[in-house]
Amino acid sequence: MALRSIYRGLRRNDSRLCSYLHSHATSFGFKEVREDEKSQMVGNVFTSVASSYDVMNDLMSGGLHRLWKERLVSKLNPFPGMKHLDVAGGTGDVAFRILDSIHSVAHRALRDSHDDNLLGETQIFVCDINANMLRVGRKRAHDRGLGDDKSLVWVEGDAEKLTFGGASMDGYTIAFGIRNVTHIEKALAEAYRVLKPGGRFLCLELSHVELPIFKDLYDYYSFAVIPKVGELVAGDRESYQYLVESIRRFPKQEKFATMIEEAGFQKVEYENLVGGVVAIHSGLKF
């Protein structure tokens, strides 16, 4: 009887293990979870932090995230009439900068050509899997007087399964988002698919610091300070603990560059900012 109970117990455990292995494991911060759980868990994080996301970015980076995004957009070289996709861009921070840059370029050009047709054809698609983040972005657009701007298109969508046609975009950006997808290689493949030949891929992401003393300080700040600030400001320590852990699980700069090349991109390069706290990776589709 005792042996039969043990056998049943082993069968139950084997069944659970097989179920876990069949669904495949992936990381959620430092935890291992099933792939089919991760997207929901990440969604819960961003639903929780959406309303305080921009304030927390300012606090966590000392406002430097604004300069990092400006650097990202400067590498893109936006132009009037372009079709651009900004993924994981729900709050609109990168999209607004791209649009500002295009209007600046257009203003200089229109003094000579007086032709605003290209400006009217510009479309910046802001794609995010989280409806709450998009809601924050739309409100920010309205507050900036861009609520009726036809150039901004808000789309709820998955970076791994984009609904846009192949070779339809002049540019693709993703800022602080790719480390949250379940399959980075699938997101990169989709980025390559939707870009036109000659299109540029740009990724701004928190990365890895190698200088020993700076790394120790950065680790202390990340694990001791950021979750505490999240608890005090956003009332959510766990979400910011995950965000810190997800940075450490993200591939290092060289490895990520290799992944971009394997997706088909050429002329892949990266630039470290603040000693590798963040990195901007870029690649071209030929």
Return binding residues for S-adenosyl-L-methionine: 91, 128, 158-159
**Count of other CB atoms within 10 angstroms of residue 91:** 23
Give the type of residue at 115. Answer: D
In DSSP terms, 169 is beta-bridged to 195
CA distance 286 to 277: 30
Q: Do 152 and 124 contact (CB within 8 A), yes or no?
A: yes
Pairing of strands 83-87, 123-128: parallel
Distance CA 209, CA 211 (A): 6
DSSP 28: E
Cβ pair 125, 85 in contact under 8 A:
yes
The pairing of strands 123-128 and 195-206 is: unpaired
Encoding tokens for residue 75? 């590498």
Pairing of β 278-284 and β 266-273? antiparallel
> What CA–CA distances, in Å, run from 5 to 9, 10, 11, 13, 17?
6, 9, 10, 12, 18
The alpha helices in the chain, defined as continuous H runs, are 2-23, 35-49, 53-61, 64-76, 93-113, 117-121, 131-143, 184-194, 212-220, 226-229, 237-249, 253-262
Q: Answer whether 277's CB lies under 8 Å from 219's CB.
A: no
Cα 207 to Cα 273: distance, rounded to the nearest angstrom: 9
Known binding-site residue numbers: 91, 128, 158-159
